[in-house]
Structure 1
Amino acid sequence: MACLSQGVKTPAATALVVADMIGVGVFTSLGFQVTDVPSGFGLLLLWGVGGLVALCGAFSYAELATMFPRSSGEYNFLTRAYGPALGFMAGWLSGTVGFATPVALAAMAFGQYAKAFHPAAPPLPLGLAVIWAVTAIRLTGGRFGEAFQTGATLLKLLLIVAFIGAGFAAEGGAPISFSPRAFDPAQVFTAGFAVSLVFVMYAYSGWNAATYIAGDLADPSYTLPRALFLGTGLVIVLYVALNAVFLRTTPLPELAGQIDVAMISGRHVFGPEGGRVVGAVICVGLIPTIGAMMWIGPSVTVTMGEDVRLLRVFARRTRHGVPVRAVLLQCGVASLLLLTQSYAAVLAFIQFGLILCSFLAVLGLIKLRITRPDLPRPYRAWGYPVTPLVFLGVTAFMLAYLVTARPIQSLGGLAVMLLGLALYGVSRRAERR
């Protein structure tokens, strides 16, 4: 959204990370965790551990992105670490459905929460409207789009902080202890804790958002690490505080198995109309989330268009630096998914592929440390090699869980990635001719 001649500064890049991370996951997943981790301290520890794993990923991505300061995230990293074929595979996944599907999911949630705020609100038209409105702002380019993203994210943070403050000021719904004395450390090694961590990590996804626009940053070696660390650190604090409010205001039996955790807690905090208040807060918060994905998603298509002749049409930008065709492509795919209501199935397919690409990117960092120690590294991953190994270990567990719990979807996601490899082979043969 920024004018490329000036570059995106740290505040806007940090806002991008925060907006991309805070979607609906933190407002919905606690209800499925309280049954497996029935301890206030254990549940907050769960969200803290998830945040530390996200930070470990951010440390690794910061080194990669400052080594290779080009927009497109995993497409760039995998190309540098393993070659253009694997890079194209990752870019194909991100450029087609990797960002369009979460946009459609966020737009669907926007419509549903708007209906909670006003029962007469039509969810589908509202979902389409928010996608198109954010796309129109993205197409304006210049500083207006960047200011909109930063301002909308700031408003989102203020509303969340206000909810947290009101939650701690309200009377508790049931006695719950956040003291470690009431927590059994053995719970950390149970299957329930591990499975809950998978869903927590989904809520933390987006910590790598700024790497997708690394080439548009004013000073990547300075801006990018700070944006990743500040954004991820702020979200960790907010996530732990939000879950503490949910647990403090609402009896655990009311939360168990429920998806509308924030709405239930809102009624305890604000009274019978609390659900409407929380619905409005989440609606406002989803706008910058959609804006973030409409900003960073097309950057992958643009970079691929610069490298692959068959996709060259998507690399073109306006004089304000806006890749109009790449933005419209993502808008069209997201709108189609929303209309067909097939995004949930697509999301189940792409989860395996997106996690695998992150795994390969961090593994590529270790590979490059060994094979190319001569490369300039403006930032070196803090805690190496422990931090990347922690991220790889948790990510490997998530991949194993998906293969075990959703074998068909995981194989489908792998098939989508292999299709990308096949298309890369076709494009290379076409270029040779």
Structure 2
Amino acid sequence: MSDHYKPRTATAIIIANMVGTGVFTSLGFQLLDIQDGFALLMLWVLGGVAALCGAASYGELGAALPRSGGEYNFLGRIYHPAAGFISGWISAVIGFAAPIAASAIVFGTYATAALPGDYGPWVTKGLAASVVIIATLIHGRNRGSSGAFQSSFTLIKVIMIVAFCLAGLLLVADAQPISFAPSASGFDAMTSGSYAVALIYVSYAYTGWNAATYISGEMKNPQRDLPRVLLVGTAIVMALYVALNYVFLRVAPIDAMTGREEIGYIAATYIFGDTAARVTGMALALLLVSTVSAMVLAGPRALQGVGEDFPALGFLGRVNGAGVPRNAIYFQSAVTLIFILTSSFEFIVIFAGAMLALNSLLAVVGVFVLRYREPDLPRPYRTWGYPVTPLIYIALTVFTLVFVVMEKPLQAGFAAGLIALGGVFYWLSKRLGR
């Protein structure tokens, strides 16, 4: 019997998927319009609440429909195979390949900054491609080496973030003059249009809380373990995000961070001094190895499901002797390398969070659909707080998506075209399959 991914590995995949470039870059953009400490921290609390509500809903879906593939499995089972196919298409092309490329390039950027000497953009891209290739080779072998690699790098990531936060609290005696107490100005900021824009960044940073559902079919007891894994992993990330942003705001002046991307580096200079720049760059690079690795591992499971269900794409569903979907992993990484080498992923990354949110929204709505249509379906776990919990997620996600359409019509049009293209591929795969 083949080995299985353990609950701790699934939890590590969630944490590693979520904690990536978003939390280390978002604050600089949020500060352009919002400079109230309470309102800024509430962004991350609200994002965490939405993610927890989504995780609770996914726990029910994952326990009732325990097959790898994430939204591909859920949407295809709840709505129609075409919905699942398009979801898998989006996950492969946008949901994973583009963020993997983005994280890998940031890895290359921080790594070259940490090394002595000056390096051109192709060195950065070379390092980015290298980390993707290494992760691909490791995860394409077997679950034992894959799980150990993922768990180890995620543990390093969590330890480094906790150490960074403790250093910010203990080594900086004079905190910045910013208040985190609730205030009228804070509540005014939370009802503004700019706050909705900031929530888009936060939503992208929290993307990945559902990652464990992509490997649920490769867990020994997903009905028992998946709900706990989803909630624990998401809660840990929420705590890390709130703590990180509290420390950023406490140690560094707002003017120094406003409009800047390298928030972690800026905060580190105020904690440790300028000499920490190279160390911080390498530390952030190591954090991103875990993120790249987790997405290389999770994403291909949706492609595997597509290959198993559609004969025309059957090569994606094949597994090696250890039960690992090697072809799907290689295919996704090939798409990722194209993004890295051409840099054409930048426009896609802008709306990748919204596309994944749409996938997750349809899945959470599916909790209601499935309970209505199949009330007798065995549900080893039922969503805590139903129906309020999924409704909170739906409301926050719809609010964010509506604002994306209003403020970013070009990205919304591109997303609609991508969905339509997925529909065309579904039709072609059915014809070729026959």
Q: Which category of TM-score, normalised to the shorter sequence, fits these structures?
A: over 0.9
CA distance in 2, matches of 1:362, 1:165: 36
Structure 1 match to 2:43: 46
353, 356, 375: which one pairs with 1:354?
356
CA distance in 2, matches of 1:350, 1:231: 21
Structure 2 match to 1:412: 414
Structure 2 match to 1:374: 376
291, 294, 297: which one pairs with 1:295?
297
Structure 2 match to 1:223: 225
3-state SS in 1 of match to 2:68: coil
- 1:261-340 alignment runs, 5 A limit: 261-340=263-342
Structure 2 match to 1:143: 144
Structure 2 match to 1:15: 12
- AA aligned to 1:149 is Q
CA contact (8 A) 2:4 2:143 kept: no
CA distance in 1, matches of 2:231, 2:335: 31
Structure 2 match to 1:399: 401
- How much has 1:349 moved relative to structure 2? 5.3
- 1:168-179 alignment runs, 5 A limit: 168-171=169-172, 172-179=174-181
CA distance in 1, matches of 2:317, 2:148: 24
User: Cα distance 1:323–1:263, how it changes in 2: closer, same or farther (>3 A)?
Assistant: same
- How much has 1:353 moved relative to structure 2? 3.0
- 1:65-84 alignment runs, 5 A limit: 65-84=62-81
Task: Determine what percentage of the aligned residue pairs are the same residue.
Answer: 43
Structure 1 match to 2:129: 128
- How much has 1:426 moved relative to structure 2? 2.1
- AA aligned to 1:207 is W
Moved more, 197-206 or 168-177: 168-177
Gaps of 5+ in 1: none
- AA aligned to 1:92 is W
CA distance in 2, matches of 1:36, 1:98: 28
Structure 2 match to 1:155: 156
- AA aligned to 1:201 is S
Moved more, 346-355 or 251-260: 346-355
CA distance in 2, matches of 1:365, 1:33: 33
CA contact (8 A) 2:313 2:429 kept: no
27, 45, 50: which one pairs with 1:30?
27
Pairwise CA RMSD of aligned residues?
Answer: 1.6
Structure 1 match to 2:385: 383
- How much has 1:96 moved relative to structure 2? 3.1
- How much has 1:25 moved relative to structure 2? 0.7
CA distance in 1, matches of 2:372, 2:38: 40
CA contact (8 A) 1:107 1:130 kept: yes
- How much has 1:308 moved relative to structure 2? 0.4
When normalised by structure 2's length, the TM-score is 0.95
- AA aligned to 1:48 is V
Structure 2 match to 1:114: 111
**1:27-58 alpha-carbon deviations (Å, 9 max, x no partner):** 11111222433222221122111101110111
Moved more, 31-40 or 246-255: 31-40
CA contact (8 A) 1:41 1:183 kept: no
- AA aligned to 2:282 is A
- How much has 1:179 moved relative to structure 2? 2.3
CA contact (8 A) 2:312 2:430 kept: no
CA distance in 1, matches of 2:298, 2:281: 26
CA distance in 1, matches of 2:253, 2:94: 39
- How much has 1:226 moved relative to structure 2? 1.3
User: Cα distance 1:405–1:144, how it changes in 2: closer, same or farther (>3 A)?
Assistant: same
43, 54, 59: which one pairs with 2:56?
59
Moved more, 394-403 or 183-192: 183-192
- 1:201-280 alignment runs, 5 A limit: 201-280=203-282
3-state SS in 1 of match to 2:274: coil
3-state SS in 2 of match to 1:329: helix
- How much has 1:189 moved relative to structure 2? 1.5
When normalised by structure 1's length, the TM-score is 0.95
**1:152-194 alpha-carbon deviations (Å, 9 max, x no partner):** 1001111111111111112235222222357643332122222
CA distance in 1, matches of 2:313, 2:12: 30
- AA aligned to 1:416 is L
CA distance in 1, matches of 2:254, 2:388: 36
- How much has 1:284 moved relative to structure 2? 0.5
3-state SS in 1 of match to 2:165: helix
- AA aligned to 1:228 is L
- How much has 1:356 moved relative to structure 2? 1.6
**1:226-248 alpha-carbon deviations (Å, 9 max, x no partner):** 11111110011111111111011
3-state SS in 2 of match to 1:91: helix
CA distance in 1, matches of 2:379, 2:101: 37
User: Cα distance 1:155–1:352, how it changes in 2: closer, same or farther (>3 A)?
Assistant: closer
- AA aligned to 1:303 is G
CA contact (8 A) 2:5 2:143 kept: no
CA contact (8 A) 1:349 1:412 kept: no
3-state SS in 1 of match to 2:150: helix
- How much has 1:339 moved relative to structure 2? 0.3
Moved more, 344-353 or 286-295: 344-353
**1:341-392 alpha-carbon deviations (Å, 9 max, x no partner):** 1011232354443222111111111111222211111111111111111111
User: Cα distance 1:226–1:183, how it changes in 2: closer, same or farther (>3 A)?
Assistant: farther
Is 1:100 the equivalent of 2:97?
A: yes
Is 1:363 the equivalent of 2:365?
A: yes
Moved more, 333-342 or 370-379: 370-379
- AA aligned to 2:225 is T
